[in-house]
Amino acid sequence: MTNPGEIKLISGTNSRKLLEEISKYLGIQICDYEVTRFKDGEIRVHVKESVRGHDVFIIQSTEPPADNLLELLLLVDAVSRASAKRITAVIPYFGYARQDRKDQPRVPISAKLIANLIQVAGTSRVLSLDLHADQIQGFFDIPVDNLYATPVFKDYFNTLDSARDIVVAPDVGATKRARAFARRLGDVPIALIDKRRPEPNKAEIVNIVGDVKGKRCLLVDDIIDTGNTLVEAARALIESGASEVKAVATHALFSDNCLEKLQSSEIAEIVITNSIPKVCELKHNKIRVLSVAPLIGDAIRRIHEELSVSSLFI
């Protein structure tokens, strides 16, 4: 695409704070727009300046409630009808990503439906962060850039000590992520927790594959929801002789009484990002929140300038 015009930055109400951080990082003023509600609760969006011929980036995480997704769709439609040159949906947390396949009869593939809605609304490109399932990129017929938050965590942890530290995948699905994380932070060894999940949001630790005795363990996952997986994993690691357990996750949903469970758990520190905005308001002595604004800002600049985004990947 040639000459995509200026960068125009917009967000839904959910990701406004992240938008402001990205705007400051890029040195670009936020587009003049508003998202309000009618008396009956219907969402009303209004873009107050011209976006004709420009490169529009709409930042919005789409965790529940569904209004977050609906705001994104309405904003995309608004700038599409206003003749934006290109519209990139920047979705730090892609809601419904865990429903990416039909695992029993008569259930939807919700992630595919959400992808269809985003694309049909008029989106030209999607930029997301640590998608729960890589195959979701294939649910779209438009370009999808899936960033990884590992560079953000690397800046925080710097380099791990291969003699004292070990990266732990809390389940088989997190093995690839843990291996990449371990390689990026000093090529440290990894361990795997073999886990059964008898029903949703319940985890049962079966076995630990790898030697964690005397080691500082770093549990690496993409999402913390109820916290059951991490809490049980930390308990099993300490019982197996680990000297310390910390946890790292990109997306912090913190459902139900997750924070209370984490507080009373064996986990010494939980490092997360601000991909889900509500975590920025937390006051919790075990939790450290890192900003993904520089990472997303760099990706936005590269997309706008038609440069490769792959250098930001792990």
pLDDT digits (tens, 9 = 90+) for 204-246: 656 899 999 999 999 999 999 999 989 999 999 999 999 999 9
What pLDDT does residue 201 have?
58
Is 117 inside a domain boundary? yes
238 and 269 co-located in one domain: yes
Q: Give 265 or 204, the one with higher predicted confidence.
A: 265
Q: What number is the average pLDDT over the span 102-125?
A: 96
Instruction: Check if 215 is active-site.
Output: no
Q: Is 94 domain-assigned?
A: yes
Taking residues 99-104, what's their average pLDDT? Answer: 91
The whole-angstrom separation of Cα 56 and Cα 51 is 7
Per-residue tokens: 121: 């609304």
CATH of the domain at 247: 3.40.50.2020
- Identify whether residues 133 and 26 lie together within a single domain: yes
Structure-model confidence comparison of residues 283 and 247, the more confident one: 247
Q: How many domains does the chain have?
A: 2
**Would you say residue 89 lies in a domain?**
yes
In a domain, 2, yes or no: no
> Choosing from 8, 85, 112, 195, which is the catalytic residue?
195
How far is residue 269's CA from residue 214's CA, in Å, rounded to a whole number?
18
Examine the domain organization and report whether 46 and 90 are in the same domain: yes
pLDDT at residue 48 greater than cutoff 50 = yes
Distance, in Å, from the CA atom of 12 to the CA atom of 44, rounded to the nearest integer, reads 11
Closest by CA to 5, choosing from 124, 92, 142, 145, is 124
Query: What φ, ψ does residue 169 adopt, rounded to 5°?
Result: -90, 125
Between residues 207 and 59, the one the model is more confident about? 59
Do the domain assignments include residue 244? Answer: yes
Question: Quick check: is 1 in a domain?
Answer: no
Domain membership flag for residue 234: yes
Q: What is the pLDDT of residue 3?
A: 57
* H/E run at residue 37: strand 33-37
Residues 159 and 263 both lie in one domain: yes
Q: What ranges in 82-198 are assigned the alpha helix state H?
A: 110-120, 150-157, 175-184
* Selection from 257, 256, 259 nearest residue 279 by Cα: 259
In this structure, the answer to whether residues 185 and 254 fall within a common structural domain is: yes
Q: Are residues 85 and 52 in the same domain?
A: yes
Indicate whether 156 and 243 sit together in one domain.
yes
Residue 246's identity, in one-letter code, is K
Q: Which residue has the higher pLDDT, 167 or 5?
A: 167
247 within domain boundaries: yes
Of the pLDDT bands very low, low, confident and very high (cuts 50, 70, 90), residue 22 is: very high
Q: What's residue 206's pLDDT? A: 66
- Residue 71 sits in the same domain as residue 127: yes
Would you place residue 1 in the very low, low, confident or very high pLDDT band (cuts 50, 70, 90)?
very low
Average pLDDT over residues 174-180: 90
218 plus 307 within the same structural domain: no
Residue 89's domain spans which residues?
A: 7-148+294-312
pLDDT of residue 310: 83
Phi, psi values for residue 176, rounded to 5°: -60, -45
Same domain, 138 and 170: no
Indicate whether 176 and 298 sit together in one domain.
Answer: no
The reply to whether 127 and 198 lie within a common domain is: no
